[in-house]
Structure 1
Amino acid sequence: MKSKALSEPASFDEFKRRLTSSWLPAYCHDHGRQYAEAGFRSDSIDIAEIDGIDCLDAINKGTVFDVGGGRYRAAMSTATEPLFWEGSRSEVPRPITLWREPVITFAAVGRLARDFSWPKHLLGTQPSGWAFDLAAHSPHDPSRYRILGEVKKSAFEFWRLASELQQLALTPRTVKVSENTRKKWLAIAELKPRIVWLVGPARLELVLEVTYGSGDEVSLNEGNASLLHWNAASRSS
């Protein structure tokens, strides 16, 4: 028989219930932390409902899982991530808030498995070099990346990154961009994903198909969500 958590459809109310009744205690009472649950700021649950629902679904289905003490990973992750952020040690109880980026990251990884049919064993977070937040590995060679995904917690940050990456594709040597964006551009050139997937709050997304020319030439072309599908990856070389 399936557990209640697995059999019930995900909802935002259930996300909030699990957050405070299960995930927060696991995080706070980890032997390396020992924080008071009373320090949690409930007003930090300031996320799009669909992101919470997708995050819960990813955890329910085991695409993302807790390896102990509120430390989450997917099958191909290179590091674990918590769902919470800690405030100043000088405050008692120590403030704890929901960390928006991992919620959206787990939601996106879960969507790759649920909506785009990716096998869970090829999905991960914090891919090589940590310039990006999530990845889908090539079915033909799991040491390579089919999709590199980057999460931004706000629409402003999302569109700024999208604009700067597209500027770099046109004039990579002269355009001025943030150090963070430049790091991602270098990672694209090094890791050579076929798809770069930008993800923001409330399923805001941009799919960029990457092509490579001679030398360090990289082109980005806006595509549609079908490029994220497992079928597209399994058919390509």
Structure 2
Amino acid sequence: MIFTQETICNRAEAGKIPYTLTFDPGLKESGLPQRCQSPNQSIERTVFELLHRCPVFQFHDTSKQAKIRNKGYIDDNIFLRSDGGNLAAFLYGMRNNHQNHKYYQKIVRYIQKIMPQFGYFQLKPSRLNENYIMLNWQEKGSDYLFGLHQISHGVLRFMAIATLLLQPPEILPGLIILDEPELGLHPSAISVLAGMAKIASINCQIIMATQSPRLVDEFAPENILIVERNSQKGCSEFKTLDRENLTEWLERYSMSELWEKNVLGGQP
């Protein structure tokens, strides 16, 4: 895959002609980082730094070889990594911090909502190497120690998402982008997921890409963007929803039903 066209624009004030810069085509990666190295490229550098501060989280890989299922360096606990690879270390640091312990407890409570038998995480440095830690857990009323090989892919993803969304507000990213967070979740867990996203949205902006009708039902029309492919222009188009235009429809149908009936758009 190569970039056939790459352009950045900046409009300092409404009504003014935007500053536009087009990079050379045919590159396998964005030309923006290289352009930022040139002197007097303040706009390019501003755009680059903005994009650099937009973490994208995807917890799809929960295979046996995935970092999230294996031991991690115990001091890698400053922020949650995009693949959840340091989940054990991050939870360990949160639990052992007096100010952040309440957020750790909140994460545990939300996991128990979708997995009632879950008791707590058993977070201890490895006996063989105290510089590493594994994400183990125990059931309520049992002293048997479980590992992550004894938990479903969906629950493990939910653990990572809960940790991301319910972490202390002061360390939340300013923007969180989640790609298909509903994957592998039980239908009843979708509403819990939406509730966590709403909590996090008080302190940061949340963008979720989803194909789940159940998740769409958890949000108001004004919080939903429809993305469709425009084959003539060769691009994706984003469309906002107007609640007033949907008032009569919503008296009879849910958001997911309107989606499935192609009232909202967003069809293949």
TM > 0.5: no
Q: Which has the larger radius of gyration?
A: 2
* TM-score normalised over the length of structure 2: 0.28
Give me the TM-score of the superposition, normalised by structure 1: 0.31
